[in-house]
Structure 1
Amino acid sequence: MAALYEKARPKQAPKLDAHGTAILIAEVCSAPEGRETWTMQLLADRLVTLGVVDSISDETVRRTLKKTSSNRGRSKVGVSLR
Structure 2
Amino acid sequence: MSFPFECISNFMFFETELEQSDIILIPEASHPQLMERVATLYHSGIAQFILPSGGTTLHVETTEWEFLKNVGVALGVLFRIIT
TM-score normalised by L of structure 2:
0.33
TM-score normalised by L of structure 1:
0.33
Kindly indicate which of the two structures has a greater share of residues assigned to strand. 2
Kindly indicate which of the two structures has a greater share of residues assigned to helix. 1
Asked which structure has the greater RCO (Cα within 8 Å, sep 6+), the reply is 1
Give the greater-gyration-radius structure (CA). Answer: 1
